[in-house]
């Protein structure tokens, strides 16, 4: 009995220490300044500085930046979010997009964000591409190729749909 208690207590202690090393869990609407300045999110600053986007994809995004907005749901506790979100910001900053083009929400481990809108997020990070308030596509979890390639693909697909509508 004592061994079980000791093992259980040790396991709980170990898991809480592992959680503490992951940093605090942010929840609700956040912005780039929050991620840049919070001492628990040093991974964000490092990620933005270290990411090198593909220039061709970046140029495509740059030339189409006024055509879309993004909603990002991420978890400060999630490793994939810690890779994808800094990459996205590097792309948007380098592409000359205004910060208000991205609406970002931090989710807890239950994917609760306190957002006024239900974005039907099943996995973090989720990047939702909106055009005129309508969803054009989303990147869920790890990108298929890269953040800029997946984002460019969504923008290209959206542009082609609009051209087809204009022909009708």
Residues 75 and 81 sit within 8 Å (Cβ to Cβ)? yes
Residues 86 and 48 sit within 8 Å (Cβ to Cβ)? yes
Does 11 have pLDDT greater than 70?
Answer: no
- Residue 140's φ and ψ, nearest 5 degrees, are -120, 125
Domains of the chain: 24-167 (3.40.30.10)
CB atoms within 10 A of CB 143: 20
Does 40 have pLDDT greater than 50?
Answer: yes
Q: Which two tokens stand for residue 166?
A: 């204009």
Find the DSSP H helices in the chain.
2-22, 32-37, 42-50, 55-64, 79-94, 147-167
- DSSP string of 11-23, one letter each residue: HHHHHHHHHHHH-
Residues of the chain above pLDDT 90, percent: 65
Long-range contact set of residues 92-95: C-beta below 8 Å, sequence gap at least 24? 92/65, 93/48, 94/53, 94/58, 94/62, 95/58, 95/61, 95/62, 95/65
The 10s digit of each residue's pLDDT in 76-123 is 999 999 999 999 999 999 988 888 899 999 999 999 999 989 999 999
Q: What is the mean pLDDT of residues 140-162?
A: 92
Considering only CA atoms, which of 19, 66, 59, 22 is closest in space to residue 148? 59
pTM (whole model) above 0.95? no
Does 146 have pLDDT greater than 80?
Answer: yes
């Amino acid at each position: 009995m004592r061994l079980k208690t000791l093992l259980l207590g040790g396991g709980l202690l170990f898991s809480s220490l592992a959680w503490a090393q992951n940093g605090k869990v942010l929840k609700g609407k956040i912005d780039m300044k929050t991620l840049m300045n919070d001492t628990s999110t040093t991974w964000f600053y490092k990620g933005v500085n270290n990411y090198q986007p593909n220039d061709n994809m970046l140029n495509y995004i740059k030339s189409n930046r006024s055509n879309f907005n993004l909603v990002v749901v991420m978890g400060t506790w999630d490793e994939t979010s810690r890779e994808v979100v800094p990459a996205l910001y590097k792309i948007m900053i380098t592409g000359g997009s205004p910060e208000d083009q991205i609406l970002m929400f931090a989710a807890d481990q239950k994917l609760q964000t306190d957002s006024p809108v239900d974005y039907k997020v099943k996995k973090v990070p989720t990047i939702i591409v909106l055009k005129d308030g309508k969803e054009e596509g989303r990147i869920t979890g790890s990108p298929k190729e890269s953040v800029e390639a997946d984002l460019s693909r969504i923008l290209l697909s959206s542009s082609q749909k609009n051209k087809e509508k204009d022909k009708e």
